[in-house]
Amino acid sequence: MNVLLSAHQSKELPQQTRRYYFLLFLYSFLLTGFVSCTTETRKETSTAQAPPLCGQSSAVNVSTLSLDTLFKPILREGLGDSHLSISTRNQEAQQWFDQGINLLHDFWHIEAYRAFRQVIRLDSTCAMGYWGVAMCQPGFGGNDTSVWRNAIAQAKARQQGITDLEKALIEATEVLVLQGIHGAAPAFKALAARFPNEPEVLAFAAIIFRQNVRTDDGGKSSDEVKAFLERSMARFPHHTGLQHYYVHVMEVRPDFKKVAALAERMPAHAGTYLLFTRAIRQGCFGV
């Protein structure tokens, strides 16, 4: 990370951007503490489930109510290149939706939630705005699933006139909300088989598969998702979500060093970690 920062040292963030990210950092810190990304594997219990990924924590419950009263989010560039056309006539809602899915791929679930809430504010009839809120569930801790259940119910209630792809995403995500990440794997496998040409479907399926990988078998349980991601990346080589998830699949394998270079490049490609870290550093002295 330090190498990447020095390479971009001359590109200072605007004061408004520094202030925005610094305040967001302080707020996130007060709510959840630091959650860092790690490539270390560890001995698990008998179920040997994968440890939380970067940006995820099962130990705390972030209040969505408090997020809704936080200062207004802003549209950003450099978060990734993901795009999924949704059924809305509001172009700004589409922009916020794309920002939301890029933030999901960056594991920045708090800001993704806020982006999808902006979609809903701009177009309350947009089913995919509510779908996006429901997709944020894995990044929030706690046992209260009412927010996510309500979101997917609202999405289902607005399905008239939307595309088959949107309906299929809502259907698979309903399984995720009701049955959890491990119960959702078959639904997302079927989704990927039905829409093999949609990179966002492949990416979201991949991270669900990754969360079903064990950590005590030398990477054997990751063989299938590794192959799935390699096929997907061959078709969509610049998709930052696929790249990010591939790094996390490889982190439980003995041959992780093969993707060390990709892991080092990720911040420069997706922008999130780079921007966030630089904003904190600059914000500490310039807000």
Residue 278 predicted with pLDDT over 50 = no
Q: Can you spell out the DSSP letters for 207-268?
A: HHHHTT-BSSSTTGGGHHHHHHHHHHHHHSTT-HHHHHHHHHHHTTSTTGGGGHHHHHHHHH
Nearest Cα to Cα of residue 270 among 103, 31, 45: 103
Rounded-to-integer distance, Cα 220 and Cα 228, Å: 14
In this predicted model, what pLDDT tens digit does every residue of 66-111 receive, in sequence order? 666 667 889 998 888 899 999 999 999 999 999 999 999 988 888 9
Entry pTM: 0.75
Mean pLDDT of 25-42: 39
Percent of the chain with pLDDT over 70: 68
DSSP 14: P
Rounded-to-integer distance, Cα 230 and Cα 242, Å: 9
Residue 269, C-beta contacts closer than 8 angstroms, at least 6 positions apart: 80, 240, 243
Domain of 99, CATH number, reads 1.25.40
pLDDT level of residue 264 (50, 70, 90 thresholds): confident
pLDDT at 45: 33
Cα 81 → chain centroid:
13
Mean pLDDT of 126-148: 87
pLDDT at 41: 34
Q: By the 8 A CB rule, do 232 and 199 touch? A: yes
pLDDT at 72: 82
- Which residues span the domain enclosing 189? 2-286
Domain count of the fold of the chain: 1
Residue 9 predicted with pLDDT over 70 = no
Residue 169 predicted with pLDDT over 50 = yes
pLDDT level of residue 40 (50, 70, 90 thresholds): very low
Percent of the chain with pLDDT over 90: 51
SS3 126: coil
Q: Tokens 């993704």 sit at which residue?
A: 112
> Which H or E run includes 92?
helix 91-105
Rounded-to-integer distance, Cα 32 and Cα 113, Å: 15
**Phi-psi category of 219—alpha, beta or left, where left has phi over 0 and alpha has psi -120 to 50?**
left
